[in-house]
Structure 1
Amino acid sequence: MAKPFEKINDINKMKELWKIAVKVHHQWTVISNNKEHIELIFVDANGTDVHVILPTTLKATFDSVLFVNNTYTVTNFLPQINDLMFKTSEHPFVIRFIAGTRVSDINKHEIPGKRLNFKPFSEIISGNWRNDLLVDVIGLVEEIGYKHMSAGSKKQQVNLILKDLV
């Protein structure tokens, strides 16, 4: 008998063998110390999301498999405490792919896209938000402020003035 799917909400450190049906909501590449790894946001059929980390050693294996808006069955991954400085998900854990992680059933699941939870500017200004959690905002770029280079880096900082459209 096939192992049933579990929900992202149920992911914890109490076990190692998981089987989830997910949709890739977002994907990006992180470069650190001249090494690249992939990070993603998975969402399940209940709309629950979780941050996912694919280490450098597995990047080549999954880079040509995982795409935004595709659905997958993902098994055998490592849940770890979400201690990231800036969290993309409220889930207390992140999923880390390991050598035994398997991805299959491409686009065989019916999973809607992640619901965006827009935060009004008034709540942000009043401090009514978690400062370690990234939030969704929608607004109009009213003005582009000054640009400057970060000291000792090639990174550029650009300040934007946003206008709330609510």
Structure 2
Amino acid sequence: MSIISKKNNSFVLVKNIDSADETQKIKVKVLVLWKTYKSSGNTHEMGSKIHAQVEENLMKKHLTVLKEGEAVSINTFQLKDYLGEFRTNPYPYKITFFRTTKVKAADDFLEYYPEKYFSNFEEILSGKLDKNILVDVIGQIVNIGPMEQIKTKGKDNSKLDNILRDTM
């Protein structure tokens, strides 16, 4: 008996990722990398944003390729539910890397993409935006309140209120 395996060489758009298929490949542009208790990155493809999370023990393996502004291809990853407060985008899943996840530079990625996705003041003030999704905004800081210590989800956190003016 022989086993025939189908090798899929085509890439999937972020919006078309099947959460049950761990053999898909995507091309994305890394917009933001930050390190928390787990290393994370925000990736972008064809008008869709998705959050990616790399466990600390796997970060060394991918650190040479995962750089802000660089396009990469990623395969052998898993999608996990991305719910709760303060998500970086509205997509209901985030990418998590396996030990076998492969990340390579992608030279043939389109270059016309904004570096950040800003929300305008009218959208924010209208109250129509999802309050659980973080947004980027540009404005002039006109007032900074005092630093406050608050408890969120049982943990101590610092809170700083700012007042921004629309520069447009």
TM-score normalised according to structure 1 size: 0.83
RMSD over equivalenced CA pairs, Å: 2.2
- Distance in 2 between residues matched to 1:120 and 1:22, nearest whole Å: 25
- The whole-number CA distance in structure 1 between the counterparts of 2:116 and 2:68 is 16
**SS of equivalent residue, structure 1 residue 59:** helix
Please give the residue correspondences for 1:128-143 in structure 2 after superposition, counting only pairs within 5 Å: 128-143=128-143
Is contact 2:28–2:73 with CA below 8 Å preserved after alignment? yes
Confirm or deny: 8 A CA contact 1:85 1:132 kept in the other structure: yes
| More displaced 10-residue stretch of structure 1: 127-136 or 115-124 | 115-124
Count of aligned residue pairs for this structure pair: 158
Shift in Å at residue 140 of structure 1? 0.5
Letter in 2 for 1:17: T
Task: Please show how residues 82-97 of structure 1 align to structure 2 within 5 Å.
Answer: 82-97=82-97
Does the 8 A contact of 1:23 with 1:42 survive in 2? yes
Q: What per-residue deviation string (whole Å, max 9, x for no partner) do you get for residues 70-93 of structure 1?
A: 111110000111124211112121
Deviations 1:111-140 (A, max 9, x none): 333465433334323421101111121110
TM-superposed deviation, 1:95 = 0.4
CA contact (8 A) 1:11 1:93 kept: no
> TM-score, structure 2 length as denominator?
0.82
Residues 17-166 of structure 1: matches in 2 within 5 Å?
A: 17-31=23-37, 37-44=38-45, 46-104=46-104, 106-112=105-111, 113-114=113-114, 116-150=116-150, 153=156, 156-166=158-168
Residue 12 (1) aligns with residue 18 (2): yes
SS of the residue 2:58 aligns to: helix
Pick 1 or 2: higher relative contact order, CA cutoff 8 A, min separation 6: 1
Deviation sequence 1:52-72 (CA, Å, 0-9, x none): 000122122222331001111
Distance apart, 1:162 and its partner CA: 0.7
Q: Distance in 2 between matches of 1:70 and 1:107?
A: 8
SS at match of 1:144: strand
Residue aligning to 1:34: none
Amino acid at match of 1:110: F
Alpha-carbon separation, structure 2, partners of 1:22 and 1:119: 22
Against the structure 1 CA distance between its residues 92 and 114, is the aligned structure 2 distance closer, same or farther, given a 3 Å change threshold? farther
Q: SS in structure 1 opposite 2:124?
A: helix
Letter matched to residue 68 of structure 2: V
User: What is the identity, as a one-letter code, of the residue corresponding to 1:141?
Assistant: I
Give the unaligned 5+ runs of structure 2.
1-6
